[in-house]
Structure 1
């Protein structure tokens, strides 16, 4: 009996003690104003949540916009019963406009266990607008918030500025304890949110995990127009410009030139820099009389234009060039640039629908009203005069006193130092798929190189960059795309252990994975190091070394 009582006492001591009761929780109980709770629920572990939590759904910053629409910053705050004392701000992607479940899980970089499941309090938001508020605008409705300047600001930077201190205050009031460490994580536009926060809010986060960052998003939107203009004339239909076999042939050509550069032919091009000079796409062009096993002259020309990136009237680079990588055959690459499997979109790719609507209505001044049908949106990109209209991403007006670039891009992104962030003791890890079809890994690599130069070659003391060979946008592609960079970030922030090589695994459910990589692992190396084969089991990351 004594033993049983002792065991029971231990269980009671280990059980979480919550300062406030979730049921009936109000803003007043948390000491906050200007916030409306729309739902408060004690959620048991299960399909809705990996752990027991108090889930608060709420909105703040309510207003009527210049377009006559109602706006608010809607958010979800997950407060786990077994709180570890820390906090995660989950930055979402795309055009935002939807409150994703607050778990902290990413498609790229957080591993198999979400921050919520690890005991972190997590907040997620819609960045200040409802993406379904304009159903009359069809497929352009998700970007229609761009006609209201303040909604653009919220999407660009203000939503995080407002929500971060508010959510932190709610966490600390609920548990009646201060937050130990604050982290921000996001992929794509979420990665951009994180990079903006590093510049605009250098003391707000102890650590940031940034994946596939669209930190030059308006410039990248110009690439959408270039892609459509380069590929559509090949067959007259963007969706048939490149078949799956065509892109597979291109990937084979890249592997033939570059796969062995890292010491082992496994389907992955690890030495990206060396590949750019080793591969010549014109070698795949059909010769006279050849009509199979090759690419047409029009296809080769389009690929060269796409990889060179958009140019201005003076020939200057408007966005970025792109790396040749075998991940170009990935399904995610195709869905973004060539053809989707979405019937309501008439199978147009994401750039031809969401990308077109965003360039028209969010990333240019003045915004352009566009018809929300797939072909009409694609036609907008076809007719967009890149050299003549590129200045619209830097333009201002009385109605839009900050340009799209000023709203969306981290201050100092072209010449980064992150001095205030660095001096606050914060850490940042950036990861990016080399075969990302949306945001060029070259742009991120140049950003990191400039950051390193501006820190006297010592950026690695607070920032690390991990390119992922073969990976598409946030995930997918013929790559080892399952990895955890959140745990090394936490170790770095809380214990001073700087991250080095991180093991990445091949996912069993990755349809793009070559058979040679089934069950394989590879090291992800902090740039500029490259994983090179040292001998041993070719399926194991231990057989490779970052050099």
Structure 2
């Protein structure tokens, strides 16, 4: 069997991670022992001690586990190899399922509960991981600790005790659970706060002691859960890994409806909004982006690393061919260009006031996932979320008969303010319960030595990386340009929502956050791989055929970018992270 360069790197990295996880340190590094960060004299942060491995002491007896308002519904041992990930067996573990806070709603008469699942490995790393799930929740997905695309080792394989939950409602109750005030709160933040103490007690019952280190991680809505937890529950977690975080989710959902209305003005049929900008025309735009921006980082390789500069130098009117005799797939009409620019500039009301942030132009717009968010989810998923979960009061149930019509008729002037509204029934607005209370006030996280890594694709079709970059710039200002001591943001060129796109979207975020939290190894770069043919974690069909299937790139902490120096253009070692001045987007 031929071993690719990617597989050799992965094996070496995995062995290093396993060795680090198995090591029990009785001392700290000299820098940590001195209590000083050499880059920030006089502003040292605590260094948390590493987790200590342990062994599962009981499984079946967890059927009798007792915690207030908690019912255990199933306990069983899962033999090694029953589950696999990236072609490798997952070790033996104990599976526990249950529910918390079962109740009957006074509003809609539905029965609600917080369903959960925990998987507790026999060989334990001493760590707990809350696996925050995406979408509008409602499902207890397998608690394996799979967070990012093509993850070669999930949390369970790395020895985490992992828990996932449905955030307080079932899939059958989507999206109408939004009519119940408590279900809204659970979805927004309360389920995480409720389940976390129970989960730690369950871990203690299984191993004879609680976790030394606790982490929360997730993508999309799971990234939002993670960022909310960084503000609300920073005393409960030591490490936070947020991927494509929709931390302003109600605003983003409103922007989706607004965007659908813009696309409808140029779609050849409103029954299929993708006719506004089908893939062949998106390829024309992507080609223009690459012509202007691909070499800004020193190498023409199909990736735009210097995104901030790209936004300044790109001009759709000039750089994209204009159709002279109608649309033929090789050009855009002037009206198409105006609509595309309007959508990327960000949603606005009739008075020009911003409803959500801009989006950066990136060649990753060619991917099917980008189109799914812009042209289909915007008239199927988002209208239901806006109407029932984010608006106060909720919309009439009748809108379910035609969500597309609701989206296209949505009046942002009168309806968008409802995401900020509250009343006697819904005491917290959607923007209150769905977002971090103060996204730039992470003092508790910082001062106790906790850390956070945020990752976002530059071609995300629903949650704006400009919004995430703006948040990080605000965090920097609030911390005198020293936020990188405890939070780092990494933008992934070409990557779509959570994963996919013409991108190097395979990265080991869990190992990176553990190394930073427990060993003080701040991530100056994270090596990411393409998932081309033969990738053991699953092939990404968006990887271009002219790339090496195991291409690697360094992801650089914002606002630094990866710049080519010399060497193999397919290998991350040929790039350096440069540029520390605060970037602006130009929108």
How far off its partner does 1:201 sit? 1.1
**What residue number does 1:301 align with?**
338
Whether contact under 8 Å (2:133, 2:165) holds in the other structure is: yes
* Cα-to-partner distance string for 1:491-534 (whole Å, 9 max, x where unaligned): 11111111111111110122212223232111110111011110
Structure 2: segments with no counterpart, 5+ residues: 1-52, 85-89, 533-538, 579-587
**What residue number does 2:159 align with?**
119
Correspondences of 1:103-502 after superposition (within 5 Å): 103-108=144-149, 111-133=151-173, 142-234=174-266, 235-237=268-270, 238-283=273-318, 284-289=320-325, 291-292=327-328, 293-338=330-375, 349-371=376-398, 376-413=402-439, 416-502=440-526
How far off its partner does 1:24 sit? 4.9
**What residue number does 1:19 align with?**
57
Whether contact under 8 Å (2:217, 2:223) holds in the other structure is: yes
Normalising by structure 2, report the TM-score. Answer: 0.84
2:139 to 74, 98, 101: 98
1:62 is aligned to 2:102: yes
How far off its partner does 1:250 sit? 1.1
2:72 to 37, 54, 58: 37
**What residue number does 1:343 align with?**
none
**What residue number does 1:138 align with?**
none
How far off its partner does 1:398 sit? 1.2
1:88 to 104, 109, 129: 129
Q: SS at the partner of 1:319?
A: coil
Whether contact under 8 Å (1:321, 1:442) holds in the other structure is: yes
* Cα-to-partner distance string for 1:265-293 (whole Å, 9 max, x where unaligned): 01001100010011111232524336431
* Cα-to-partner distance string for 1:443-488 (whole Å, 9 max, x where unaligned): 0000001001100110011010000000000001111111112112
Whether contact under 8 Å (2:451, 2:486) holds in the other structure is: yes
Whether contact under 8 Å (1:310, 1:317) holds in the other structure is: yes
How far off its partner does 1:298 sit? 2.7
How far off its partner does 1:176 sit? 0.8
Question: Counterparts of 2:135 and 2:129 in 1: how far apart (Å)?
Answer: 20
Question: Counterparts of 1:529 and 1:230 in 2: how far apart (Å)?
Answer: 34
Q: SS at the partner of 1:132?
A: helix
1:77 to 111, 118, 125: 118
Question: Counterparts of 1:157 and 1:84 in 2: how far apart (Å)?
Answer: 27
Question: Counterparts of 1:287 and 1:37 in 2: how far apart (Å)?
Answer: 64
Whether contact under 8 Å (1:357, 1:370) holds in the other structure is: no
Question: Counterparts of 1:253 and 1:82 in 2: how far apart (Å)?
Answer: 52
CA RMSD of aligned residues (A): 1.6
Question: Counterparts of 1:268 and 1:249 in 2: how far apart (Å)?
Answer: 16
Whether contact under 8 Å (2:148, 2:243) holds in the other structure is: no
How far off its partner does 1:48 sit? 3.6
Q: SS at the partner of 1:199?
A: helix
How far off its partner does 1:370 sit? 4.3
Question: Counterparts of 1:498 and 1:358 in 2: how far apart (Å)?
Answer: 37
Classify 1:291/1:33 alpha carbon distance in 2 versus 1 (closer, same or farther; 3 Å). closer
**What residue number does 1:9 align with?**
none
1:518 is aligned to 2:553: no
Whether contact under 8 Å (1:313, 1:388) holds in the other structure is: no
1:546 to 577, 584, 587: 577
Using the TM superposition, name which of 206-215 and 327-336 deviates more.
Answer: 327-336
Whether contact under 8 Å (2:62, 2:206) holds in the other structure is: no
**What residue number does 2:48 align with?**
none
How far off its partner does 1:371 sit? 4.7
1:504 to 525, 528, 540: 528
Q: SS at the partner of 2:63?
A: coil
Structure 1: segments with no counterpart, 5+ residues: 1-14, 134-141, 339-348
Instruction: Report how many residues are paired.
Output: 508
How far off its partner does 1:353 sit? 1.1
How far off its partner does 1:46 sit? 2.7
Question: Counterparts of 1:210 and 1:462 in 2: how far apart (Å)?
Answer: 14
Whether contact under 8 Å (1:311, 1:387) holds in the other structure is: no
Question: Counterparts of 1:282 and 1:381 in 2: how far apart (Å)?
Answer: 29
Q: SS at the partner of 1:251?
A: helix
